Amino acid sequence: MSWLERQIVTYGEGFGNDLQRYLQAAGVDRAMHGLAGNFGVRRFIIRFARQGNLISVLEVESVALQFGGGKPSAQNRETIAEVERALTRLQNNMLGGPTWHHGVIGLVRDSDNQQQLYPFFDEDADKISINELPVPDTGHPLEGPEYRRLRDSMEAQIMPIVQRSNSTAHGWDIWQIQGEELFLVYGDPQQPENIVRKKCRVLGTFGADYYWEWQVENPLFDEEVFCWENFLCDWDAAVELGFVCTARLQADWLFFSVVEGADVTLFVAVWE
């Protein structure tokens, strides 16, 4: 009889749901999300064991997926330590109930950050490898080899754009976009000499929901990332994408600012 079968005999058919509640109450789901990184398709397992009164992570097992992602992107000492603290809380919360000495937890996450945890303990854990986990249906456009190659190939073009953007995109009091022109107002808008006009191309927005939304009628380019209407990412990835677009369009710098009355930041490629 397996570990899970013994618990079902003891605690009933609903034990699987009870186990998920144990994981959530201990913060294991949040700690695993932290290990997985802010966004991206993930598929990996951690192996852990009790050492004294604490739980230690012994191994993180993962393989890169064909379409990108798979491996945890934030694996470091602190994220591992947070997983260990959560697993220790899990064990403490289960005192007097189900007992275990070692285990495996698998994580599978899709491109919208919907994740599922797969816990196994004791002899059940000994039989589990990463091959037992389901494979997500699709990858994330910012993790695919196509986008990574594009980003890497444009690194030399992007660096001067970053420098110009850091030195140029500040100091204005008001901004406005009309068609393909960006108006930057420095001081009194009633004085024409305070208004600077720049050719521009609106790219997209990044919102408080952590979604990038393209704000273009047609895809800018042919690669997959430009053909998704929207996708989940983080601030750093959104800014990087803005720089990639600016360089690809052969523009001079990247403008971005919060849109008044909306909880989004607008990204715009600008020409001098």
Query: Of the candidates 77, 99, 132, which is a domain's last residue?
Result: 132
Higher pLDDT, 256 or 195: 256
Inside any domain, residue 12:
yes
Inside any domain, residue 67:
yes
User: What backbone torsions phi and psi does residue 3 show, to the nearest 5 degrees?
Assistant: -60, -45
Considering the domain architecture, whether residues 61 and 128 belong to the same structural domain is answered as yes
Inside any domain, residue 138:
no
* pLDDT (0 to 100) of residue 132: 94
Query: Of the candidates 98, 132, 166, which is a domain's last residue?
Result: 132
* pLDDT (0 to 100) of residue 155: 95
The residues, ordered by sequence, that sit 6+ positions from 255 with a Cβ below 8 Å of its Cβ are 165, 169, 175, 182, 200, 267, 268, 269, 270
Q: What is the CATH number of the domain that holds 35?
A: 3.30.500
Residues 47, 125 contacting (CB under 8 angstroms): yes
Residues 29, 115 contacting (CB under 8 angstroms): yes
Considering the domain architecture, whether residues 119 and 168 belong to the same structural domain is answered as no
> Over 80: is that where the pLDDT of 192 sits?
no
Query: Of the candidates 132, 167, 186, which is a domain's last residue?
Result: 132
Considering the domain architecture, whether residues 153 and 128 belong to the same structural domain is answered as no
* pLDDT (0 to 100) of residue 235: 97
> Within a 10 A sphere around the Cβ of 87, how many other Cβ atoms?
26
Rounded to the nearest 5 percent, the helix, strand and coil shares of the chain are 35, 30, 35
Considering the domain architecture, whether residues 124 and 152 belong to the same structural domain is answered as no
* Residue range(s) defining the domain that contains residue 198: 145-271
Mean pLDDT computed over every residue of the chain: 94
Cα–Cα distance, 242 to 239 (Å, whole number) = 5
Cα–Cα distance, 160 to 238 (Å, whole number) = 18
Cα end-to-end distance, the chain, whole Å: 72
Fill in the DSSP letter of residue 67: T
- In 3D, which of 205, 194, 216 has the Cα closest to residue 255? 205
Inside any domain, residue 137:
no
Considering the domain architecture, whether residues 23 and 71 belong to the same structural domain is answered as yes
* pLDDT (0 to 100) of residue 126: 95
* pLDDT (0 to 100) of residue 168: 76
Considering the domain architecture, whether residues 177 and 239 belong to the same structural domain is answered as yes
* pLDDT (0 to 100) of residue 189: 75
Q: Per-residue pLDDT tens for 139-187?
A: 999 999 999 999 999 999 999 999 999 887 677 888 999 999 999 988 7
Q: Per-residue pLDDT tens for 236-257?
A: 999 999 999 999 999 999 999 9
From residue 64, how far is each of 43, 44, 134, 217, 237 by CA, in Å? 8, 9, 14, 34, 20
Considering the domain architecture, whether residues 238 and 211 belong to the same structural domain is answered as yes
Give the residue carrying structure tokens 């598929």. 43
- In 3D, which of 74, 88, 89 has the Cα closest to residue 32? 74
What confidence category does residue 73 fall into, taking pLDDT thresholds of 50, 70 and 90?
very high
* pLDDT (0 to 100) of residue 261: 84
Cα–Cα distance, 58 to 46 (Å, whole number) = 7
Inside any domain, residue 233:
yes
Q: Per-residue pLDDT tens for 90-125?
A: 999 999 899 999 999 999 999 999 999 999 999 999
Cα–Cα distance, 130 to 44 (Å, whole number) = 6
Considering the domain architecture, whether residues 168 and 127 belong to the same structural domain is answered as no
What confidence category does residue 68 fall into, taking pLDDT thresholds of 50, 70 and 90?
very high
User: Structurally, how many domains does the chain consist of?
Assistant: 2
